[in-house]
Structure 1
Amino acid sequence: MIDIILSSSVLILIILAIRFTFLGKINPKMQYGLWSLVVLRMLPISWLNSKMPESRLSVMHAAKAVAGTIHGASEAEQLIFAPKQGTIFNDMLSEDSIKTDAMRNASALSFISSIDWQLVFLTVWIIGAVAFGLWFLWVNFNFNRQLIKKRTFLMSVGLDGEPILDTDTLAFGNMQTRKRKSLPVYISDELCSPCLVRHRRGAVIYVTTDVAEDGRKLHYAVLHELCHYRQHDLLWSAVRGAVLVFYWFHPLIWAAAIISKRDCELACDYEVMKKMNQKERLNYRRILVDLIRTQTNQKNVLQVASSMHENAEGMKERMILIARNKKRKASTLIIVILIAALAAGFTFTSAPEYVKEISGQEEHAFNDFTVKWADAYSARDARSIYEMCENEELFLTLGEHTQGGGYWMGVSSPWPWNKDYVINILDDSSADIYYYYRTSSPTVFVAKETITVNKDKSGYKVSQDNWKYFDEISSKAEFEEAYRFGVPELIEFAAAYQLQADDNSDYNEGSKEILEDPVTAAIEQLNLAGAKVTGIYTDPYAKKAVIKFAWEDGEVYVNLSQPILIDEDDESVKRQATIWVVVNKNLTKEFRMKGK
């Protein structure tokens, strides 16, 4: 929905700029028609499994960097991970231990980080949409009920504005029984001004008593409402109301609804006056002043009716345009059309993905090759890696030849054994592979390998191989890059961490103090460097904690848990862990451990 909101906002601003720049210089009907672009852009096309065409001119392309940063913050900051162990952060721990107790008292601030904001926003949107939907239905139901309750039939008019005096055609249910289509006209003093309303049986024109008693006022009022009928404005009013209900939170949508309703009236004024001379235009203007009621009631925006309500600004605008009778230039029309076309290009397209189009067969073949490469690397299969390298020099950056003519690569630890990796295909010739290096300590850290592949007659070969290691996280940017796709659950190390905390030997000296404090546990397990603790939230009942760490380039949130340890040999034996473990947001509270 974010792309719809952003693109539609830009589109609304462009149309508003066109309107106020070229007001009176282009056909009001065209001006009114421009708002249909907004309606089309507000359609949830992505929900229909459809995709906008890609373009470098897209608004979303310009906003991609910012959107990517926000999206990365909302996802990457919640990832669970554990870089290598072994670095002692004495300086950092000494500094933060002074702050910890004070920040615990302000844990309500950090509690914000544990809230599922996506669910909160969705709930608020649904409640708002339901509330506005009920208001929309009530406004129109109550309005129609009041009109029907107190009304008096006046006459029936043809679509040319001429009255039909044959009483046989005046029955409300028989408006189309004659060749000449007609609409009934009723008098109702529940109105402030004439309007066109649709009931279950069809459209109806309503006028007030003072309008019905003045032949000239009645004539112009009926002509005006018939223009609304021919333009299908009742349908557009319903669409406008539906868009407001769906996007009730969007202030620019409300502005667009108000201005488009005003443009609807300008279009009808233009249609009525199209064949009038200057004197008749002035007469229409004077009568319109008497017909229009100045109001600012927001219910008018939601009414599926063409009522003549205007605020002071809108009324002034209409009077000026009616008095003005300038010939519109074709060059101005061309400029507006070009601007509207560019606006559509900006807002009805999506950002390009920069991924080359490849056939399904080629895509599968390339995917299979990258999996084969990652499997071989994880298994330290040096021969397979050698065969997949384009040249000898590349292989020697990864492994070496043995004296017996064989191939060798890698070490026992740390290493991404058990095929522990994530592959991100960049295009048809390159991919990022995120390996999760493990040690027996146990710890984990991330290494990102970027391979570039060429294809020849024998198949795919790796031509370039670049590495970036994240065995120390010293910025938010590194955090988001390293853990873009997450890491294995550290919860599986819970039993080992608990054993380290319970062991009083010199080998595990200090482990208890580190692992039983959520701040130091997060620092140790994540191997953070240079980060400051800016917030702590702990829930002693749910055994959860959220720590907020900050670098100069931003903040991240880390979730931790104290799981229940279950003996695998005897499931009745359970123990509440005293250590803290970095976990995914949707954590598992219990973890099975092997019996001693």
Structure 2
Amino acid sequence: MNEILITSSVLILALLLLRFLFRNLIPRRVQYALWALVALRLLVPVELPALPLSVLNAGQQTQEAVSITMEQPVYLMPIQQTPAAEVPSAQTARPGEVVETGDSFGYPVLSQDGQTVTKYAKKATVSQVLGWVWKGGMALTALFFLSSNLIFWRKLRRERVPYPVEHCTRPVYLCNHLSTPCLFGFFRPAIYLTPEAVATPERLRHVLLHEETHARHLDPLWSFLRCVCLTVYWFHPLVWVAAIVSRTDCELACDEGALRNLRDDERLDYGRTLLALVPVKRTPANPLLTATTMAAGKKQLKDRITRIARNPKPIVAAVLAAALLAGLAGACTFAAPQTTPDAAQPLTEKELRYFNEDFFNGDYMNIRNQFLSSHYEDPKDIDLFSLFYNGDGSDCSQTPEGIDPEELDAALDLDRADCPAVLLTTAQIDKVLSRYTGLTLEETNQVSLSDFHYDQTYDLYYNTHGDTNYRSWVNISAGTRDGDQISLYYQDDFNGDGWKCLTLQDMGDGSYQFRSNVPCEKPDIATAYPDWEPELTIPVDDLTPYEPPAVTVERHTNDCAQQFGGFMVGDYTVRLYLSTDGNYYAAVVYDEAVGNDGGTATWDVGCFLTLPAVEENYTVSFFSDLFGHDGIVIRYNGQITESYGTMFYDYYYLTDDGTPVLLARTYGVDSQVIDLNGDGTNELAGEWQFFFQRDGQVYEADLKKLLEENWPALTFWDYAELDPYAKALRVTGLMTADEWSNGSGEANFVRTLYFDGKAVRVYRDERETVDHLLEGVTAPEEVVQKAKDWGQKRYDALLAQDAYLIGEGFDDWRITQIETCSPYRYGWQWDGPEVEIYSLGFEAHSSQPESAVIAGGMYILQDGWIGGFYVEYPYLVCIVEDDGTRTFLESRIPGDCSEGSQAFLDGLNQTLQNAGYTVDG
């Protein structure tokens, strides 16, 4: 709506300017036709591709500020006032904030002067209040529009008398009390005459010609659209101006059209007819009346008569210039705003997930991880010894095919080696290098290849070692795509030498080749937000600085009963231990020594945290670069209230003198240090908290509280999950669905919360469904078709059930998920051809969601999509031959098991056995 208001205003002003500049140079019919651009802009949500000249480019900051303002809360219906001094929590609240009173009903708000707490019965946002005002005004305007035309029509019906006219194609009536002749009617327009109009044959001819021209120009239709624009945009003054001016241009265009059918010597007679019949009014005619009346103001009538007398000739160049400028104005106002990101676009959540979970990591050993083991600006300079230190990803301790093991052992003297050997032929090395770099061993610079032993007889490289030195995990934090070049950024915790940038080339066939791996600065890559506007934008500029719980350090000596590990934080060691008093503590070690008997002879520590009684209930790990500090994070079970417990994450750093400082505490099953908005500075994200730093101060955004205060539809916050690839928090729960026919339904919701540095953005999933496939769901074409076939069968089976079991109004279905599943990562063994498994998601749509029967794990969204149906076999299983051909099998993987579970693997084995394959175990 905001974009339409801005662009339509600019377009109207532009056309008014063109109308003034070309007032004596272009035909009035051309001038009148240009107003169709405004009607199109106001009534049709059409948008051209983004262009540099879009007017929205200049107003993006203003739009963001307006969006934030529109989401500010507004409290309605005050029901109680209490002095602030009598409300303890009001002493720490800020004016305008909701204060905690323990009441389950209402919204107690502290007044601006801080003296009164007023409880309100309802809360809404500015946009909701304005929406109510807009809809109310639209209803009143529509009522006036309908009543005006209905009254006018009844008047005509009551007074009209048929007036026969030869050669006239439309009904003609005479009305004695009509102030001016007019054309009225939408489907079958009729001409209505006054007694003055039929006084002479000449007048009658002029009037009929005028009204017939109105009909030929489809002016009843344009009058109706003009009234619709005024009804919808009743609050917009420029729309009213455009309606009045376009109505004037309608009459001028009609005059031009009528005069084209008269001789030059009849022009003055036509003008005299207008002077005799057109009543001069001081105020504009009712713009919500669709009749093409001939009434005009004094100035407009003078303009009409002057143009009739002068008969100005249009200038072709002026017409072309006006059309060109109008087209330019249309392009500027219809074009979407152009985003101006760098040439490299941030990778999407799905792409980051792929590189973290599929391309890298996984089972031992993923040879792609080893391409991160050295620095290189050209793949020819890859350190081959580091790359192939553990082999090529296969079992390289086995003798290569075609070589006699005993002869090889004797030749290389492998039996005397103390450690296992890695054996690689040149062909094996070439296979890996060719696939992932496009090179052969001969084409590389063979960096560190000499660190291997080489046997020319067998063309074999080998080495023996006891360690693995395998990079089992890499966390790709961010990435960009520039054409076919993909840059992946990760902090090299394996080597401990900072940030790296790995460059891949997309080969266009689903494969990637390595191009470089070099040190870099920490990236500041903008977070990839959804392509649509957020449902809510909640500013966080009015938060108070975060005050973490105080840390009390107690000195303990010689009370260590059992130690559980130490962690170096700067120059100090933090240990967890069991005390002789029966408690578990986290402590900074000041002095410790081991006695001759292996026990603790000296134990001097500062205890700063008492842990749960069972040691398995906590974990300790390191964090770095959080608000300027490095330290440890201790995870343990804790109680938020007496009745509610969850996981606590305490982030501690140590001062120079070894004093522990609690930097922040998050709650829930997950907590991560992550750059949420992509500005190069880390934030801290928990399950309902975002911590960020501004001007040296740490702030906590309590997401649950913010959503409750700014989203009146929220009724229940159920579950939240951090998504490190999207850099967002995905929240599920329940909300009111006022748009349902019963007016009080309750729907499930999924919202994704982002932090952009200034506000919390709340996004609803607005992806489209095209041909039963949810936008963004991708897979090979034949897999998609099989998924659709599966979905159609599920839908048919659903409709076959009785309505009292499922509800009514089901009218559509869609596939919401086609995700690959890898059984190999769960230890599944298979010597046959490649197996692909796809997990499917299915939803059905109901036009009567209030009647849907929701049971078990089902859910229903506010737009009527229903999911969570129990499906017996929600997987596709196929065999992929060497030539890429897929053969789909009848899946027997059940729907009530998780990926990788024993039931999942048993179902896969059963699927293969039913298809005639032999499966071990």
Instruction: Letter of the 1:136 partner, please give it.
Output: F
Instruction: Letter of the 1:185 partner, please give it.
Output: Y
- Provide the rounded CA distance (Å) in 2 between the counterparts of 1:2 and 1:141: 33
Per the alignment, do residues 139 and 530 of structure 1 end up closer, same or farther by CA in structure 2, a change over 3 Å counting? same
Quote the residue 1:230 is aligned against.
Answer: 216
- Candidates 175, 180, 184, aligned match of 1:193: 180
- Provide the rounded CA distance (Å) in 2 between the counterparts of 1:468 and 1:183: 79
Q: How does 1:253-268 map to 2 (within 5 A)?
A: 253-268=239-254
More strand by share: 2
Per the alignment, do residues 563 and 17 of structure 1 end up closer, same or farther by CA in structure 2, a change over 3 Å counting? closer
Quote the residue 2:694 is aligned against.
Answer: 529
Instruction: Letter of the 1:130 partner, please give it.
Output: A
- Provide the rounded CA distance (Å) in 2 between the counterparts of 1:285 and 1:332: 26
Equivalenced residues, count:
464
More helix by share: 1
- More deviation, 134-143/347-356: 347-356
Quote the residue 1:371 is aligned against.
Answer: 353
Q: 1:319 Cα shift?
A: 2.9
Per the alignment, do residues 308 and 469 of structure 1 end up closer, same or farther by CA in structure 2, a change over 3 Å counting? same
Q: 1:317 Cα shift?
A: 2.5
Quote the residue 1:162 is aligned against.
Answer: none
- Provide the rounded CA distance (Å) in 2 between the counterparts of 1:533 and 1:213: 86
Once the two structures are superposed, residues 31-64 of structure 1 have per-residue CA deviations (whole angstroms, 9 ceiling, x without a partner) of: 1111122223334345xxxx6344334334x347
Q: 1:145 Cα shift?
A: 0.7
- Check conservation: 1:355, 1:427, Cα contact below 8 A: no
Q: How does 1:431-450 map to 2 (within 5 A)?
A: none
- Check conservation: 2:71, 2:127, Cα contact below 8 A: no
Per the alignment, do residues 108 and 454 of structure 1 end up closer, same or farther by CA in structure 2, a change over 3 Å counting? farther
Once the two structures are superposed, residues 488-537 of structure 1 have per-residue CA deviations (whole angstroms, 9 ceiling, x without a partner) of: xxxxx9984728999xxx999999x999xxxxx99x96243338999x99
- Provide the rounded CA distance (Å) in 2 between the counterparts of 1:221 and 1:238: 22
- Candidates 447, 456, 459, aligned match of 2:512: 459
User: Are residues 1:406 and 2:469 paired?
Assistant: yes
| SS, match of residue 454 in structure 1 | strand
Q: 1:234 Cα shift?
A: 1.0
Quote the residue 2:155 is aligned against.
Answer: 146
- Candidates 48, 61, 69, aligned match of 1:66: 61
Per the alignment, do residues 72 and 453 of structure 1 end up closer, same or farther by CA in structure 2, a change over 3 Å counting? farther
Q: How does 1:538-553 map to 2 (within 5 A)?
A: 544=705
Quote the residue 1:398 is aligned against.
Answer: none
Per the alignment, do residues 232 and 149 of structure 1 end up closer, same or farther by CA in structure 2, a change over 3 Å counting? same
Once the two structures are superposed, residues 59-82 of structure 1 have per-residue CA deviations (whole angstroms, 9 ceiling, x without a partner) of: 34x34743774488589999xxxx
User: Are residues 1:183 and 2:236 paired?
Assistant: no
Quote the residue 2:51 is aligned against.
Answer: 55
- Provide the rounded CA distance (Å) in 1 between the counterparts of 2:5 and 2:238: 10
Q: 1:148 Cα shift?
A: 0.7
Quote the residue 2:308 is aligned against.
Answer: 322
Per the alignment, do residues 379 and 210 of structure 1 end up closer, same or farther by CA in structure 2, a change over 3 Å counting? same
Q: 1:237 Cα shift?
A: 1.1
User: Are residues 1:387 and 2:371 paired?
Assistant: yes
TM-score, length of structure 1 as denominator length:
0.59
| SS, match of residue 302 in structure 1 | coil
| SS, match of residue 506 in structure 2 | strand
Once the two structures are superposed, residues 425-459 of structure 1 have per-residue CA deviations (whole angstroms, 9 ceiling, x without a partner) of: 78654578899x9xxxxxxxxx9998754235962
Q: 1:99 Cα shift?
A: 9.8
- Check conservation: 1:390, 1:461, Cα contact below 8 A: no
Q: 1:115 Cα shift?
A: 4.0
Q: How does 1:69-468 map to 2 (within 5 A)?
A: 69-70=64-65, 73=68, 100=92, 103=95, 107=110, 115-159=124-168, 181-189=169-177, 191-198=178-185, 202-274=188-260, 276=262, 280-295=266-281, 300-351=286-337, 370-375=352-357, 384-387=368-371, 391-392=375-376, 404=467, 406-407=469-470, 429-430=485-486, 453-455=504-506, 459-461=512-514, 463=516, 468=522
- Check conservation: 2:160, 2:174, Cα contact below 8 A: yes
Quote the residue 2:572 is aligned against.
Answer: none
- Provide the rounded CA distance (Å) in 2 between the counterparts of 1:302 and 1:354: 43
- Provide the rounded CA distance (Å) in 2 between the counterparts of 1:124 and 1:494: 51
Per the alignment, do residues 75 and 269 of structure 1 end up closer, same or farther by CA in structure 2, a change over 3 Å counting? closer
- Check conservation: 2:95, 2:110, Cα contact below 8 A: yes
The higher relative CO (CA closer than 8 Å, separation ≥ 6) is in 1
- More deviation, 137-146/452-461: 452-461
Quote the residue 1:15 is aligned against.
Answer: 15
Q: 1:231 Cα shift?
A: 1.4
- Check conservation: 2:636, 2:647, Cα contact below 8 A: no
- More deviation, 346-355/323-332: 346-355
Per the alignment, do residues 203 and 293 of structure 1 end up closer, same or farther by CA in structure 2, a change over 3 Å counting? same
- Provide the rounded CA distance (Å) in 1 between the counterparts of 2:268 and 2:138: 44
Quote the residue 1:441 is aligned against.
Answer: none
| Structure 2 gap segments, 5+ residues each | 74-88, 98-108, 380-385, 390-464, 535-634, 654-658, 667-684, 720-754, 764-921
Instruction: Letter of the 2:5 partner, please give it.
Output: I
Structure possessing the higher radius of gyration over alpha carbons: 2
Instruction: Letter of the 1:197 partner, please give it.
Output: F
Per the alignment, do residues 224 and 434 of structure 1 end up closer, same or farther by CA in structure 2, a change over 3 Å counting? farther
| Structure 1 gap segments, 5+ residues each | 79-96, 160-180, 358-362, 396-400, 438-446, 471-477, 487-492, 516-520, 549-555, 566-581, 587-596
Once the two structures are superposed, residues 222-252 of structure 1 have per-residue CA deviations (whole angstroms, 9 ceiling, x without a partner) of: 2211211121211211122223223333332
- Check conservation: 1:196, 1:229, Cα contact below 8 A: yes
Q: 1:407 Cα shift?
A: 4.2
| SS, match of residue 32 in structure 2 | helix
Per the alignment, do residues 389 and 453 of structure 1 end up closer, same or farther by CA in structure 2, a change over 3 Å counting? farther
Per the alignment, do residues 431 and 15 of structure 1 end up closer, same or farther by CA in structure 2, a change over 3 Å counting? farther
- Provide the rounded CA distance (Å) in 2 between the counterparts of 1:221 and 1:139: 24
- Provide the rounded CA distance (Å) in 2 between the counterparts of 1:422 and 1:323: 72
| SS, match of residue 291 in structure 2 | coil
- Provide the rounded CA distance (Å) in 1 between the counterparts of 2:189 and 2:278: 21
Instruction: Letter of the 2:226 partner, please give it.
Output: R
- Check conservation: 1:356, 1:428, Cα contact below 8 A: no
TM-score, length of structure 2 as denominator length:
0.41
Instruction: Letter of the 1:9 partner, please give it.
Output: S
Per the alignment, do residues 18 and 564 of structure 1 end up closer, same or farther by CA in structure 2, a change over 3 Å counting? closer
- Provide the rounded CA distance (Å) in 1 between the counterparts of 2:490 and 2:135: 39
- Provide the rounded CA distance (Å) in 1 between the counterparts of 2:500 and 2:280: 68
Per the alignment, do residues 275 and 209 of structure 1 end up closer, same or farther by CA in structure 2, a change over 3 Å counting? closer
Once the two structures are superposed, residues 284-305 of structure 1 have per-residue CA deviations (whole angstroms, 9 ceiling, x without a partner) of: 3333133222346676212121
- Check conservation: 2:500, 2:517, Cα contact below 8 A: no
Give percent identity, aligned residues only: 25
- More deviation, 366-375/204-213: 366-375
- Provide the rounded CA distance (Å) in 1 between the counterparts of 2:293 and 2:110: 54
- Provide the rounded CA distance (Å) in 2 between the counterparts of 1:497 and 1:294: 81
Question: What CA RMSD, in Å, does the superposition of the two structures yield over aligned residues?
Answer: 6.0
- More deviation, 334-343/27-36: 334-343
- Check conservation: 1:383, 1:407, Cα contact below 8 A: no
| SS, match of residue 300 in structure 1 | coil
Per the alignment, do residues 484 and 328 of structure 1 end up closer, same or farther by CA in structure 2, a change over 3 Å counting? closer
Q: 1:157 Cα shift?
A: 4.6
Per the alignment, do residues 272 and 108 of structure 1 end up closer, same or farther by CA in structure 2, a change over 3 Å counting? farther
